[in-house]
Structure 1
Amino acid sequence: MRAGGRVTPRSQLARAGFVDLGEAASALDELTELTGVPRDELVAGAARSADPDAAVRALVQVARREPDPVRGVLRDAAAPQILWRLFGASQGIAAFYLRHPVHLRDLVGMRPALPTAAEMTRRIVDATSEGRGAALWVALRVAYRRELVRIAAFDLSAPDPVEVVRVVTAALSDAAAAALEASLRVARRMAEGQFSAQEIADTRLAIIGMGKAGARELNYVSDVDVIFVAEGADGSGISDPRMLEVATRLAMLTMRGIDEFEAEPPLWEVDANLRPEGKKGALVRTLASHLAYYDRWAQSWEFQALLKARPLAGDAALGAAYMAATRPLVWASSERDGFVESVQDMRGRVTANIPADEVARQLKLGPGGLRDVEFTVQLLQIVHGWSDEAVRVQSTLSAIDALVERGYIGRADAASFATDYRILRLLEHRLQLQQLRRTHLMPETDEERRVLARATGLFDHTPGTAGGTAGDVTSTWERVRHDVRDIHVRLFYRPLLSAVAETEYDARALTGSEAIGRLTAIGFGDAKGALSHIGALTRGVSRKATVQRTLMPVMLRWFSEGIDPDYGLIAYRRISERLGDSPWFLRMLRDSAGAAESLTKILSGSRYIGELMEWIPESASWLDSDEQLRPRTHEVLAHEARSIMARRVSLKESAKRIRALRRRELLRTAMGAMTGALGIKEVTTSLTTITDVTIDSLLAAVRRDLVADDHVGFEFAVIGMGRYGGAEIGFGSDADVLFVYRAGSVDPTAADQLAKKIVAALREVGEDNLVPLDLDADLRPEGRKGPIARTLEAYRAYYAKWSVSWEAQALLRARAVAGDASLLDDFMAMIDPIRYPDVVAPTDVREIKRIKARVETERMPKGADPTRHLKLGPGGLSDVEWLVQLIQMKHAHSVPDLRTPRTLHALLAAYEAGLLAEDDARLLGAAWRLATRLRSANTLLTGTTSDLLPTGYRALDGIGRVLEMPAGSGWHVEEQWLGAARRARRVFDAVFYDL
């Protein structure tokens, strides 16, 4: 790159930070020609900018349009430094100067300093003091952007850009307030054509800033959240609808002046959706109306939103009155019913809507981002602010200062947290400056990250140039993300240990009430009990206690993010105590990637799992490997069961070991379902396999005990029926069965007695209070009145002479399960002509339809809401299954693929045979799958079985979380089911009664 020992022009450009050297050389030559400034001087100036290529390109465009202002700036002593920094960091500012080159003269003689709030208000208001119509909005926006340039010039010139973040965000907030003040004044003039001057003068309107605007921590481009409050001149105004009409018009015009499209682009969105009732509520209310709403209707999150409220513009006295009236409500909000749920909902909304491909790039919402800092600080303020006025401040950085000063967080942690927060804000500011657009995403390409690194000023290593690489900014971003998540744990969770154990911490030890407040705020219902469990796990000097103290802060956070933190912590304590000092357990939690988090997730999300894990605590080791959560095959489980039987222990002992096998595999399947390792098809298949092996093994054990050697030829078998026969059971499902036997050489009376003994013994040894195995034989001929077991010939005779339509229908789901193979084969062969008849009599079809109508009314639990009944309600499991079974009865004789006990397989076969429209089959299948998933999810959540979809939001949200939906999805669960059921019912009504 050198010629004759001298630096070549291209190498000079490369050293200055240019990328497209050919285009840059051409643009620099043109700029020299337009302005008369030497090329070397331009290169030296551009080297100070974040993006020299973009800076030169933009400046050439402005100079082409009007070279004199550009020439004047470049010939000033200090202005060129500001100019290059602005144009290199912000194409949005460059575009502003392209529209208004004359305002480049503002840079001449400028010394980077922040304008005061009063100065900005005066200048923006003065700019709109003359003129009319849309020209006023243009003048307002131009004046605002001139102030924005002053702020950006100070920001980009600061020796320590991280340190000035606080004052820069405050200045941006003051500029926004000034713009709103000017826009409101313009609105008053514009409204004169619609209202009298006296009406307008008598209408007092205050604009209250919320969110970042209220906290004086706005970005360069943020939505500005506001609430409008109005009063009449006499302070009442309540009885004057005309005053509210005037105030509403003023508010609308004020917003229009800021964010509607005109010749000069909008500034930012004025968002009034935090007002009472949100978008549905009145845009403007009187103070009394606001207070009445907050007193009677407001949700807890609305009080938390008021934490950052501050008067921005308009009537100062009215704004102060609003603050005085609403401020106490913020600090009383933690005592309200539903406070914890609202906090959890707010936290869940943070990440719920982030696209998966953006999570790792989100400066604001992603893990380790700005929201982690803000949420932690606000939660600490709410917890401690109810009794300590010193922490009742609006801005995040001021709140950190107050919290450390009062001893609620340690100085070292607070200093790191505050610095990391400012770095995140600096990165966000530089990204938004580029186009003057709202964004919170780290750029993807190395070139974009290199520009960002140069724009921050954090990596300037060479005097006179902007420095930094893509690697610099990426490594800083990753370090900050990691630190924020770690400090989040230290600030909020680790001090809880100081309330119950001898744990060093550089803040004051929390009192019991403060620790209870923190636990309550993060979702523990029994905070006092939680403290006792934490203490039991972490006190002492043993290795176990030491490891638990290390793990507990982060595990508390995971528990708090779960469905039921209280139960999760209790279950964790019980499991820890059962495992004692087992080295593998604590080592796994400490060292295994994801095992500890998975454990907290399943314990706080499923009582079914928690209760089983207490009996099988060593199952925690499965979380260290996804393979351990995969269901065991029928062959593997059957082999283990045969090994149990081979030991020739007593019936009682054999049954105990088989029940233990069943518990273990049910737990394995549940854990796989909760961690997302298994889908619904794998779950139902696994549960069916476990039940098949259990029944077959218990039957073998019972027969060995009861059937003597002289019972030659005696055979016994179990037939699966219902959802069990269809291999479609969920957690907590009964096992519908039929019992059949063949006497062989045994006396018929003795054989009948022996069969009854086998059934009784089978039910007795299968009893398990923890996970019941109910062998339900109510689908047998004659129902509960009929014999519990029959011979094959007795079944044949009954079905030939007495069988009614519903019994033939029930046989559609019959499946050979356990017992003597020859008897199973003969039974299945015997029932095929009954369930797949050549022709179905019209009377049988009518009877099935009549019984279906009766089932819907007579079997529905008293007082139950039919729309929430997953089995018998409209569009529920019963609708889908009866429709499919009627199709099978009518067509399975001629369509072999319909001869299956499985509902979804038969549904697919019906569609493929042209017996059901594609959309109908899809809607029926969707409702059936969802009902099945909801039933199992409810059982996992509560540990009990129910066919009713809960009505409580907390339970619905829990079901949603089990189904891997984001936190706060309770109402979505309900809407999803009601919609799916409604669509399935329409199909049922249209098809079933026409079959």
Structure 2
Amino acid sequence: MVGGRRESLFGQLARRGFSAPAAAEEILHSGALGPGGPDNTLLDGLGATADPDLALHALVRVTENQPEPADRTLLLKTLTSSKPLRDRLLSVLGASEALGDHLAAHPDEWRVLVSFDTADLHPGLADFETALAGADDPDRLRLAYRRALLMIAARDLSGTSGFVETAAELADLATATLRAALRIAEAEAPEDAERCRLAVVAMGKCGGGELNYVSDVDVIFVGEAPEGADQEAEGPAMQAATRLAARLMRICSDTTAEGTIWPVDANLRPEGRNGPLVRSLASHVAYYHRWAKTWEFQALLKARPVAGDRALGEEYHAAVAPLVWEAAARENFVVDVQQMRRRVEESIPAAHAGRELKLGPGGLRDVEFAVQLLQLVHGRGDAELRSPTTLSALSALADRGYVGRVDAAQLDASYQFLRTVEHRIQLHRLRRTHLMPDTEDELRSIGRSLGFLKDPVAELNHAWRRHTAVVRRLHEKLFYRPLLESVAQLDAGEARLSLGAAEERLVALGYDDPTAALRHLKALASGVSRKASIQRTLLPVMLDRFADSADPDAGLLGFRKVSDALGNTPWYLRLLRDEGAAAENLARVVASGRFATDLLLRAPEAVSLLGGEEGLRPRGRQALEQEILAAVGRHPVAEEAVAAVRGVRRRELFRTAAADVIDAYAEPGLRPEAVDRVGEAVTDLNAAALAGALRTAARTHSGDELPTRFAIIGMGRFGGQELNYGSDADVMFVHEPREGVSDEEASRAAHAVANELRRLLQIPAPDPPLLIDADLRPEGKSGPLVRSLTGYEAYYRRWSRVWESQALLRAQPMAGDEGLGERFLALIDPVRYPEGGPGEDAEREIRRLKARMEAERLPRGADPTLHAKLGRGGLSDVEWTVQLLQLRHAHDRPELRTTRTRPALAAAQAAGLLDEDDAQTLDEAWLLASRVRNAVLLVRGRPGDTFPNATRELSGVARYLGYDPGHAGEMLEDYRRTTRRARAVVDRIFYES
């Protein structure tokens, strides 16, 4: 029967949730909890805890550490007979290893849990002050604090208190602790206490009355001389106040045998760690008026005087509170808010991204940030919204119609769940953390503490994912759903934002013209149609992305235009609704600037490219040329054929620009691969378009076959595969008579085709033009438009000048007869890669030409430090330096024989012609200048070589280049610094100075 009894107890323990029932059985039979072993009442109590094994081990330690046998007997007897004690003590022991250690070290502390008076069920600040009143030294304060914390945890874990009450009690306990710590500091230095008035202002969750179990307590210290003191007393008063404040912080944060309380963090003070620990009231006010940033006013929303000189604390609060509610009217409010949000998102270590309760997507910070932003936007005119407590503020926002009631209720529930999980995690070892555990045992304990008993880990994870999904969804809806309801003309059953409140919110989110924005929203979302319903689902995501751009108004307008053009097309809204990437990508594109948006508005069906990575991947030249030549073949009329070529080019330019914009948001920075990808894609596209235009021109002149072979040679950035969106295509035309055709006939045909090609490309059209420039041909504009291969050979043999050798470094066949193109390259190789280099006279001529070009072509009034093409350290500086090295050494070093700048730079470095630092400096400057030119065209819709003057456009360029909102000035300084370093290399190598 003994074996049967042991087996029966083992089974009971397993059914009650013990993870190690055999070990627990051995402990229980050892007599550690009395000679007769525990009864079912105690077993049930242990089984109801978060971790029955932990609770049992802790209970044994507490029992064994009782000072007298009678105390041990009393504990076990009371535990069996008193359900309140059993619930409180065992729930604490099963959830908190740290509090179990505390009870084992102070074995008589269990007595405080025996009974709670009615008044003790929800104690307030006065109760905690009474509990800490006798703590007249730091260790006694730590012990009294831990005793009060034990009682809060017992109420929380046993279900007597909910999250709201627990968080408020923790904040009240922190307030009482700060007062006690200041009292001790003043008792230790009474002379300092007499010399100053010191007020302690709580910030953060303590100020908001919603503190965690383990958290830094954020404070600000305000000091003044005693009332009636003369001006000379101010200095000594601030010194005394600083000593008291520093001592208060040490009392709370020092660790002794009695443990620690929590760190006091004063870094929210003006100037943070760099500012004085204590400031006078006048100094605080002056700082907030002149220097404070938006985040500091957001922090002040929770400021609450809690300790020290009450009158001084109230004066401080009265002085700064009005400034909080003026924050939304600040010039850079939106920029600052966007930057704060982005900084939070980027601060999460990659290894923690999936475990963050606080900072992760759908985490606690999303709720707090959203509520605070809405408070700042609308609290200026509505004092009912000014609660420092997150859930109270959320309730007020719902009551006043700024947030939907259903949304607010869901957000409230999710926030309470996430904060409760955070509390359970922190309670385990009383450590400050916001990470979900990654071990099965810890997850199981947390799940059980929340009442998930069937499958605690799975149920906990499911609930966690569900609540973070709710927060992620509502974080966007919270701002935008009331806006949509205010214009949708639907009876939502809830209060709607007034017109003024709606415009106020749009202005705060970055819209310059809120009236127009509301008009667009009304056109998109009004009514009961399926189209309007889907738009109301999509718009929160779209509007959030527009607000994150440099020009939200342009983004919303572009989206409306695209939707007007495609709104009745069945696949359009389905694509945006069902393909998550499509809606976000479209928002990024239409808010990025004019170029991509204008392309899309001319061919709205190109939205289909935004559904995934495949649609954004550039197509190769071969595939493009095949499509274009097939399109030309279907259109016998030359003008129609070229229109078809333009249609393909328009779509592919949009594909390239859209991918570029989307990648720029996803991976900000210099991104060399992005510059190369754009250059190659635009070059391939223009080469394929020229092939189609050439086929059309040749067919117009001669039908199926010309009497002469014809090739188009790319020059400049076209030949270097480094075009930007708005670059002209520098070309030369070469022909070679077919057998039996006279030179005169071949020349007439070649000129006719070249002129027809140029005519077709110059036909006015709304699409971005493909302009060809043939001025790099021999003799420039004065020379014939087309030469035969033998004509080129004769010219280069007799008349070639050094600038032509330099220009030929980038010559590459782009369209037409491939064999002729290769023969042209063979002809020019000795010219562009001269044996022995160009010679001293030729190099002097190159330098003279460059100086003349900069003097004549740099626009009057242009800042040479910011001109991407001709300015200091810009494209011209880098390219001419690289090309001089090629002219000098490419004859002997074939690896330098490339038409592309960056590969030539790398080859020069590998050959020892440039050291690594110089090569990297030139490469960075070239990449940056190239990106600037691309950015300017994407934002403005037209080419430009310098930064725009308009604030919105400059901000758009900065966003494309990876700068946070409000940092356009930093972008300009970075550009100047990068190009200045490049110019120093150019001066040494190109100018040899």
Same fold (TM over 0.5): yes
Corresponding residue to 1:697 among 692, 697, 704: 692
Aligned: 1:516 with 2:503: yes
Aligned residues: 970
Whether the 8 Å contact between 1:207 and 1:311 is mirrored in structure 2 is: yes
Shift of 1:893: 1.9
* Map of 2:153 onto structure 1: 152
Shift of 1:313: 1.5
Alignment of 1:639-718 (within 5 A): 639-676=626-663, 679-706=674-701, 712-713=707-708, 715-718=709-712
* Map of 2:8 onto structure 1: 8
* Map of 1:405 onto structure 2: 399
In structure 2, the CA distance between the partners of 1:109 and 1:544, relative to structure 1 (3 Å rule), is closer
Q: The residue matched to 1:226 in structure 2 has which SS?
A: strand
Matched residues in 2 for 1:700 and 1:544: separation? 44
In structure 2, the CA distance between the partners of 1:59 and 1:885, relative to structure 1 (3 Å rule), is farther
Corresponding residue to 2:178 among 174, 177, 180: 180
Matched residues in 2 for 1:748 and 1:539: separation? 66
In structure 2, the CA distance between the partners of 1:224 and 1:785, relative to structure 1 (3 Å rule), is farther
* Map of 1:431 onto structure 2: 425
Kindly provide the CA deviation profile for residues 854-893 of structure 1, in whole angstroms up to 9, marking residues without a partner as x: 7677765555555544445555444543443333223322
What code does the residue aligned with 2:225 have? Answer: G
* Map of 2:823 onto structure 1: 826
Whether the 8 Å contact between 2:632 and 2:696 is mirrored in structure 1 is: yes
Q: The residue matched to 1:773 in structure 2 has which SS?
A: coil
Alignment of 1:274-293 (within 5 A): 274-293=268-287
List alignment gaps of at least 5 residues for structure 2.
667-672
Matched residues in 1 for 2:814 and 2:231: separation? 76
Matched residues in 1 for 2:421 and 2:624: separation? 57
Moved more, 931-940 or 748-757: 748-757
Shift of 1:959: 4.6
Aligned: 1:388 with 2:377: no
Q: The residue matched to 2:200 in structure 1 has which SS?
A: strand
Matched residues in 1 for 2:971 and 2:11: separation? 62
TM-score (norm. length: structure 1): 0.89
In structure 2, the CA distance between the partners of 1:175 and 1:952, relative to structure 1 (3 Å rule), is farther
Q: The residue matched to 1:308 in structure 2 has which SS?
A: coil
In structure 2, the CA distance between the partners of 1:275 and 1:569, relative to structure 1 (3 Å rule), is same
Aligned: 1:807 with 2:804: yes
Q: The residue matched to 1:746 in structure 2 has which SS?
A: helix
Matched residues in 2 for 1:684 and 1:15: separation? 68
Matched residues in 2 for 1:733 and 1:794: separation? 29
Alignment of 1:324-403 (within 5 A): 324-403=318-397
What percentage of aligned pairs have identical amino acids? 46
Shift of 1:309: 1.4
Matched residues in 2 for 1:89 and 1:964: separation? 46
Q: RMSD over aligned Cα, in angstroms? A: 3.6
What code does the residue aligned with 2:99 have? Answer: I
Corresponding residue to 2:491 among 504, 521, 530: 504
Kindly provide the CA deviation profile for residues 820-855 of structure 1, in whole angstroms up to 9, marking residues without a partner as x: 434423321222112212211244445545666776
Alignment of 1:243-258 (within 5 A): 243-258=237-252
Corresponding residue to 1:482 among 449, 463, 469: 469
Shift of 1:685: 2.0
Whether the 8 Å contact between 1:344 and 1:522 is mirrored in structure 2 is: no
Matched residues in 2 for 1:913 and 1:351: separation? 44
Aligned: 1:82 with 2:80: no
Matched residues in 2 for 1:865 and 1:670: separation? 28
Shift of 1:373: 2.0
In structure 2, the CA distance between the partners of 1:695 and 1:511, relative to structure 1 (3 Å rule), is same
In structure 2, the CA distance between the partners of 1:741 and 1:220, relative to structure 1 (3 Å rule), is same
What code does the residue aligned with 1:682 have? Answer: R
In structure 2, the CA distance between the partners of 1:756 and 1:666, relative to structure 1 (3 Å rule), is closer
In structure 2, the CA distance between the partners of 1:787 and 1:357, relative to structure 1 (3 Å rule), is farther
* Map of 2:670 onto structure 1: none
Q: The residue matched to 1:730 in structure 2 has which SS?
A: coil
Matched residues in 1 for 2:54 and 2:555: separation? 55
Corresponding residue to 2:943 among 942, 945, 950: 945
Matched residues in 2 for 1:237 and 1:872: separation? 65
* Map of 1:837 onto structure 2: 834
Matched residues in 1 for 2:274 and 2:821: separation? 65
* Map of 1:133 onto structure 2: none
Moved more, 297-306 or 284-293: 297-306
* Map of 1:773 onto structure 2: 770
Moved more, 292-301 or 74-83: 74-83
* Map of 1:38 onto structure 2: 37
Shift of 1:704: 3.3
Q: The residue matched to 2:219 in structure 1 has which SS?
A: strand
Whether the 8 Å contact between 1:114 and 1:150 is mirrored in structure 2 is: no
* Map of 2:134 onto structure 1: 126
Matched residues in 2 for 1:971 and 1:947: separation? 18
Whether the 8 Å contact between 1:258 and 1:266 is mirrored in structure 2 is: yes
Matched residues in 2 for 1:524 and 1:33: separation? 70
Whether the 8 Å contact between 1:408 and 1:507 is mirrored in structure 2 is: no
Matched residues in 2 for 1:649 and 1:761: separation? 17
Shift of 1:353: 1.8
* Map of 2:253 onto structure 1: 259
Moved more, 400-409 or 981-990: 981-990
What code does the residue aligned with 1:827 have? Answer: F
Shift of 1:639: 1.7
Matched residues in 2 for 1:961 and 1:67: separation? 68
Matched residues in 2 for 1:585 and 1:367: separation? 28
Matched residues in 2 for 1:235 and 1:870: separation? 64
In structure 2, the CA distance between the partners of 1:801 and 1:87, relative to structure 1 (3 Å rule), is farther
* Map of 1:228 onto structure 2: 221
Shift of 1:469: 0.8
Matched residues in 2 for 1:897 and 1:562: separation? 43
In structure 2, the CA distance between the partners of 1:475 and 1:690, relative to structure 1 (3 Å rule), is same
In structure 2, the CA distance between the partners of 1:122 and 1:951, relative to structure 1 (3 Å rule), is farther
Matched residues in 1 for 2:727 and 2:2: separation? 82
Whether the 8 Å contact between 2:762 and 2:771 is mirrored in structure 1 is: no
Aligned: 1:140 with 2:141: yes
Whether the 8 Å contact between 1:699 and 1:762 is mirrored in structure 2 is: no
Shift of 1:3: 6.0
Q: The residue matched to 2:488 in structure 1 has which SS?
A: coil
TM-score (norm. length: structure 2): 0.89
In structure 2, the CA distance between the partners of 1:978 and 1:261, relative to structure 1 (3 Å rule), is farther
What code does the residue aligned with 1:277 have? Answer: E
Whether the 8 Å contact between 1:72 and 1:108 is mirrored in structure 2 is: no
In structure 2, the CA distance between the partners of 1:567 and 1:417, relative to structure 1 (3 Å rule), is same
Kindly provide the CA deviation profile for residues 784-837 of structure 1, in whole angstroms up to 9, marking residues without a partner as x: 666655554554455445544443223222211123434423321222112212
Matched residues in 2 for 1:599 and 1:107: separation? 60
